[in-house]
């Protein structure tokens, strides 16, 4: 049985993380701390065969540090992006509470059934990212693939691997910035081996605050 190993990396701290705004597909660069985190996660990774990244700046900047370590090019995929947040893009969490109390309330209380106004649902995002990973597993059987992506996709992949849906997503915590989640894909199924490993960051860990 051939298993493909994925190292799912959440990007380092971004300017939007620091400013506490909902990012989605909007582009924000890494902070200086985020760049340091990206270098640390690159140093912590075992050798990989291939590097894929979301095409959003914060993910690409993280992936470049991994590319520098292994001298492997970064391949970009829109299908690895964060959730399309529609009208929520770039708004602070306080503004979301004020303008979209019902739909954002669902995000906070029951994220698996949430859908940003004018964007894609969490379920649609999860299907998109899982399909992208399945395609990579089919294309590169038995390889070790580094995938640099975002908080909601990584959280959703764990939930879908364990339960088959995103319904229980609120029970799963956010993975920290520049953390490592290891998954294996085989026999048509994704298996999560470790989630959100971040010991390589020491005191430099950062994360989304609460269930935002």
Question: Active-site residue numbers?
Answer: 11, 82
- Residue 195 CA to residue 153 CA, distance in Å, equals 13
134: left (phi over 0), alpha (psi -120 to 50) or beta: alpha
Cβ burial of 86 (10 Å; 0-12, 13-18, 19+) is middle
Residues with Cβ within 8 Å of 195's Cβ and at least 6 positions away in sequence, in order, are 158, 175, 181
Say if residues 180 and 9 touch (Cβ distance below 8 Å): yes
Q: Count of alpha carbons within 13 Å of 12, Cβ hemisphere only?
A: 25
- Residue 70 CA to residue 22 CA, distance in Å, equals 32
Residue of 53, 59, 99 lying closest to 76 (CA atoms): 53
3-state SS assignment for residue 173:
coil
């Amino acid at each position: 049985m051939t298993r493909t190993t994925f190292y799912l990396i959440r990007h380092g701290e971004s300017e939007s993380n620091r400013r506490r705004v909902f990012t989605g597909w909007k582009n924000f660069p890494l902070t200086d701390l985020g760049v340091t985190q990206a270098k640390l996660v690159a140093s912590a990774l075992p050798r990989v065969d291939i590097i894929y990244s979301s095409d959003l700046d914060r993910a690409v900047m993280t992936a470049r540090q991994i590319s520098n370590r292994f001298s492997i090019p970064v391949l970009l995929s829109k299908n690895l992006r964060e959730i399309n947040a529609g009208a929520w893009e770039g708004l602070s969490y306080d503004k979301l509470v004020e303008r979209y109390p019902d739909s954002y309330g669902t995000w906070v209380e029951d994220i698996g059934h949430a859908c940003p106004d004018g964007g894609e649902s969490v379920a649609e995002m999860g299907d998109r990212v899982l399909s992208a990973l399945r395609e990579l597993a089919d294309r590169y059987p038995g390889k070790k693939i580094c995938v640099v992506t975002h908080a909601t996709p990584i959280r959703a992949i764990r939930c879908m691997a364990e339960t088959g849906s995103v319904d229980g997503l609120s029970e799963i915590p956010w993975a920290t910035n520049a953390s490592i989640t290891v998954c294996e894909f085989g026999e048509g199924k994704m298996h999560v081996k470790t989630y959100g490993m971040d010991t390589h960051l020491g005191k430099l860990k950062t994360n989304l605050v609460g269930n935002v």
